[in-house]
Amino acid sequence: MTRKLYALSGADRTRQFSPHVWKSVMSLAHKGLDYETVPVGFTEIPTIEGGGSSTVPLLRDGERLVRDSYDIALYLDEAYPDRPSLFGGEGGKAMARFIETWSQSTLHMAVTRIAILDIHNLLRPADQEYFRRSREERLGASLEDIAAAGRAEVEGFAKKLQPLRNMLKFQPFIGGEGPLFSDYIVFGALQWLRTTACTKVLENDDPVADWFNRCLDLHGGVGHRVTAA
């Protein structure tokens, strides 16, 4: 049985950068499951699996087609209970929902502002046109104006991670002694920045930087599969 993970990519098809795709990459690695990566551009997403999804990641596992990174993680825990758990129980699922809400409301918009022109520039021409049109409509400003606002986000980005920094005084991962899906949620946001803009937002001696490097090294270093921008 061949698993397929549809992953957003730039003009360089090996450069998968979506934070949500990275959650699923780490989830599959956590479970020790083999799969084939199918890179797609923004404008190709509606054509995959017969129009089965408007977003990625999208996982094909035999007869099952699973959308959304959180639902993919839930599915993997249910389908492969003999392999390491991504949640560690119902409490871990609830924790992951909170972490995901925090990450998307606090980190994702900041990364969008910091990296938006870098993301645009790594896309194919057809995807660049779609990206500019859709993001400018959604955010109500030109990409250039959004990027200008992003310069202020760089200085304040580390402060947004203070809750994680405080927690790391007591344990090496959000999941405790080892990582869980909650770790992969926050990792995905920082990996998004690393693989698109690689703007320095953390000092080298920051505990969050140490945590991120530990995550990059997990599961045989799968996080290093895509080099920094």
pLDDT of residue 97: 97
**Is CATH 3.30.360.10 the right assignment for the domain spanning 90-117+150-222?**
no
Among 178, 177, 184, residue whose Cα is nearest residue 212 = 184
Rounded CA gap, 216 and 225, in Å?
9
The domains of the chain are located at: 3-79, 90-117+150-222
The confidence score (pLDDT) of residue 86 equals 98
pLDDT of residue 2: 83
Q: What is the DSSP string of 127-143?
A: HHHHHHHHHHHHHTS-H
Q: 88, 84, 53, 27: which is closest to 3 by C-alpha? A: 27
Q: Are 61 and 3 in contact (CB under 8 A)?
A: yes
CA atoms within 13 A on the CB side of 60: 16
User: In this predicted structure, what is the pLDDT of residue 1?
Assistant: 59
How does DSSP classify residue 63?
T
Domain 3-79 sits in CATH at 3.40.30.10
Please state, in angstroms and rounded to a whole number, the distance separating the CA atoms of residues 161 and 156.
Answer: 10
pTM for the predicted model, two decimal places? 0.97
The three-class DSSP label of residue 3 is strand
Q: What does residue 176 show for φ and ψ, rounded to 5 degrees?
A: 110, -125
CA 85, CA 56: separation in Å to the nearest integer?
23
pLDDT of residue 52: 73
Below-70 pLDDT ranges, the chain? 1
